[in-house]
A and B are shown apart, each in its own frame.
Chain A
Amino acid sequence: MQTQTPSAASSSPEPYLKIRGVTKRFDKFTALQAIDLDIYPGEFVSFLGPSGCGKTTLLRAISGLDVQSEGTISQGGKDISTLPVNQRDFGIVFQSYALFPNLRIKDNVAYGLVSAGRSRSEISTRVTELLALVGLSDQAMKFPAQLSGGQQQRIALARALALSPGLLLLDEPLSALDARVRARLRGEIRDLQQRLGITTIMVTHDQEEALTMSDRIVVMSRGRIEQVGTPDEVYSRPASPFVADFVGRMNFLDGRLVAPNQANCKGVDLTFAGEMTYAAETQVTVCVRPEDIVVRNINGANTNVFDADVGVMEFVGNHFATTLHINGTNLNVAADLSMNDVRDLGVKPGGTIKALLPADRLRVFATPGAAAQ
């Protein structure tokens, strides 16, 4: 299993949320398989994965909306596994905002406070404070439909925070917004979370969202955790081909092991950092990110340097997505060449260049079924 280290954001070693052996079955289908996970106080953790991977199911188990079939969940040292929703301690924000359309913004934010029996003046102070927190103080008297999507989502956030819950759950909070608003709100939510120091879990299928906002990312696939790590770890050192494929773009080069630190892919010998504990001839997949491929200042390096024909060049805005054919082989590699590279080196389709696949940037995975020695 993964070793889970508390991230920089937390100071206490004791997890706030402990998930142990959580399994969820719907009739014959197993949506979650024995999930173990610790989340530390003040952390921002994202559950990332394609639809159907179990990320929402796990969030619903944590909130008590759809309780797990097996396993335990404890929050702040208290076992909450069997508690109904309204006896748990969390605030939740949905993709659809779920603002009450017939109530004014101030009444939406005050909704939980009124039932908690706070005094009128206390409620009004708290509402003012919360609206200021999300930067919408001047919208108190409006109805939700009069606000933009981004504003509505900030109100939903303020409402969720009203009772100062110990845990904030965000269920695809930005998916309904357009790209520009989404990018801005990303920063705002993260900033707010850090100021309040509230432990937060966000479910998302958008890797960019997870990478920019989280302290740690939990990558999930088919009801299992594939990897838990900081955004940098998940991006640079994916623990499995699935993670490598799902987060960012990746070249997958099929080959076989010829030495503990070398693989042969379609006649090209690639040297990589570290050693594989598999027998020679084991089928492996070598992964390299298109943006890690180097085409300039290759001075003197001689490992993993190849002459390549330039194939299709697709202009993507800030770079060219380029296909390189390694000379003398039929190995194709996708490389992202910066505008500068292309201009300075005069790269064009049909030309030739030198390309370096840095050894410390290669990730190698044994093809499933291969046995470790």
Chain B
Amino acid sequence: MTAVAVEAAPARPVRQRMSRDDVIMRVVLTLLAAWLLLTVLLPLWSLLAKSFESPDGRFVGLANFVQYFANPQLTQSILNSVWIAFVSTLLCVFLAFLYAYGVTRTCMPWRGAFKIVAQIPLLAPSLLPAISLVYLFGNQGFAKDILFGHSIYGPIGIVMGEVFWAFPHALIIVTTALATADARLYEAADALKAGAWRTFWTVTVPGARYGLISATFVVFTLIITDFGVPKVIGGQYDVLATDIYKQVIGQQNFQMGAVVGLILLLPAVLAFVIDQVLQRRQSALLSARAVPYQPKPNRAIDTALFAACGLIAVAILVIIGVAFFASIATLWPYNLTPSLKNYNFDDVDGGGWESFFNSLQMAALAAVFGTAVVFLGAYLVEKTRGYRPGRAIYQFLALLPLAVPGLVLGLGYIFFFNAPGNPLNLVYGTMVILVMCTVAHFYSVAHLTAVTALKQIDQEFETVSASLRVPFYRTFFRVTLPVCLPAVLDIAMYLFVNALTTVSAVVFLYAPQTTLASIAVLNMDDAGDVAPAAAMAMTLFFTAVVVRVLYTAATRRLLARSQAWRLR
């Protein structure tokens, strides 16, 4: 090796000249990386800096942390958060596995309907299940007796709410893991006379192992960082997410809020790192030549899982149903005469109907603008030739939001954009900052969707175009974008629904003229207007459903027209 190096030393290494395409791609990718720097990393940096400052802005080292850990009431929240997340995650992943198994591995009836029902929690803010639980098991709840005198306000309520809310997230991952089974393994196990139970433990569970682990981490992160459920139903039981809110909104103690934010960042980052490492290992294990597994009818198993999935589905429908009926009752549970009076949002505090239209506007802007940025960024990071450092930095910044809880990001935004010397100060308190923050908050999943779609199309389109001397942007608009249209629409839909239902990041950033519907739910509930809160949550839910249905119908027509080439 040394001999070769010495011998080759006189020759000058060849450096390829950059084409116009290369220059444009690098410049745009750099600009997008700068955008992510601005909307993700710098706010986090401000948060970090704030945690080392005194209220008047002096550097005080670890004083804030010392103060935090000296307060047993605050540190108790760490234990509470971890405990809640631990219990809810176990329950949620177990139920998701059961449900996914029923949907993918049995011949039970109504599997399609079960799939749809399981998606319901995705369309509602996390406040909604908590409100429903209050109606069901609260002080005036009609099913209160099931709890045997325990109060729903506290850990029991939080766990139930979180399991409901995180369920579809776990289900998507576990379903994917179970759906990609290799039939040959089952045939081999059969041929070797392994019983059903042994096959389950030696083939099914190991096959879904990575999916289960991944689901565990994703759900754990979601739950430990969720704010909506504990805010509504947590009562006196403090968790980290509600502590941040109390410190910042209640006590205006921004420094302590930053400290709690950093502590909340830890488990999320840890879960993120472990999941990334595991995913890398998983892709090495997957075989390309798997034969898809087709379940065969089995009366006992089909019946058992139908019962189990049925119970879960009914629970989901009950939770949504209760919120709905409470919202249209004159005075739940005493006067059940249907009435729309709870939908007169202008009669209660919280922003009124205007907040709903603000939400629609914000979600639409986030969907349009976010999709454009996300897809362009993913395209450039995949297709730019060379420029390794730039691409690596972009990739890191694009995945970072996955590890950042919404509350922490929102808090970082206050510190960064509201800093006196920042020229970007003028977006503070406007719709712009809400859109920026929401796009940044949900960036990673959208980015990964785009990257997956781009990886599935032929890698040589750009090469062919370059050899035909066609500029890359022409191929991007003429070929890549149309071919990836389904993924692009998926991303837009994902951003829209999340922007509509999110509470955590934007709760620190809205202004009187930019109140959002999801925050109105929070504030109405806080003020004791629980029925209008349920009504607003249901309005958001129905909006998401309508948009989703319209989207499905529209994409079906659009795809039929623009994707004729997909048919043989």
Contact = CB atoms under 8 A, between A and B. Distances in A.
B464 A162 contact: no
A146 B483 CA distance: 16
A202 to B, nearest CB: 16
Given A23-B8, A115-B468, A115-B471, A98 B568 contact: no
A144 B565 contact: yes
A98 B458 contact: yes
Interface in B1-31: 1, 4, 8, 11-19, 21-22
B12 A70 contact: yes
A86 B21 contact: yes
B251 interface: no
B468 A159 contact: yes
A90 interface: yes
Nearest to B4: A30
A84 B460 contact: no
Interface string B462-475: 01111111110010
A143 B22 CA distance: 30
Interface residues of A, number: 47
Nearest to B7: A34
Nearest to A97: B458
A147 to B, nearest CB: 10
B11 A71 contact: yes
A281 to B, nearest CB: 31
A68 B467 CA distance: 18
B478 interface: yes
Contacts of B116: none
Nearest to A65: B463
Nearest to A69: B13
Contacts of A111: 464-465, 468, 470
Contacts of B15: 67, 82
A248 to B, nearest CB: 30
Interface stretch (A100-108, A212-220, A342-350): A100-108
A320 interface: no
Contacts of A145: 565-568
Contact of B463 (A30, A72, A98, A162): A98
Interface in B515-568: 562-568
A28 B2 CA distance: 11
Interface in A92-136: 92, 94, 96-98, 100-103, 111-112, 114-116
Which of B1, B467, B470 counts the most chain A CB atoms within 10 A?
Answer: B467
Contacts of A103: 478-479, 565
A90 B467 contact: yes
Contacts of A146: 568
Interface in B48-106: none
B469 A81 contact: no
A70 B460 CA distance: 25
A81 to B, nearest CB: 6
Contacts, number: 116
A115 B479 contact: no
A86 B463 CA distance: 9
Contact of B468 (A67, A72, A162): A162
Contacts of B11: 21, 23, 70-71
B494 interface: no
B460 A71 contact: no
A162 B465 CA distance: 12
Interface in A303-354: none
Contacts of A54: none
A177 interface: no
B565 A115 contact: no
A163 B459 CA distance: 22
A49 interface: no
Contacts of A69: 13-14
A64 interface: yes
A221 interface: no
A132 to B, nearest CB: 20
A283 interface: no
A48 to B, nearest CB: 22
Contacts of A115: 468-471, 474
Contact of A82 (B16, B21, B457, B467): B16
A159 B562 CA distance: 23
A98 B461 contact: yes
A85 B467 contact: yes
Nearest to B461: A98
A100 B457 CA distance: 10
A280 interface: no
Contacts of A70: 8, 11-14
A230 interface: no
A91 interface: yes
A87 interface: yes
Contacts of A81: 14
Interface string B152-173: 0000000000000000000000
From B12, B15, B470, B565, residue with most partner A Cβ within 10 Å: B565
A292 B36 CA distance: 69
Contacts of A165: 467
A144 B565 CA distance: 8
B548 to A, nearest CB: 26
Nearest to B566: A145
Q: Which 5 A-B pairs have the closest CB atoms?
A: A112-B468, A84-B19, A143-B565, A98-B460, A85-B466
20 contacts: A23-B11, A65-B463, A70-B8, A71-B11, A82-B17, A84-B17, A85-B19, A86-B466, A87-B19, A90-B467, A92-B463, A94-B463, A98-B461, A100-B461, A102-B562, A112-B469, A115-B469, A145-B567, A146-B568, A159-B468
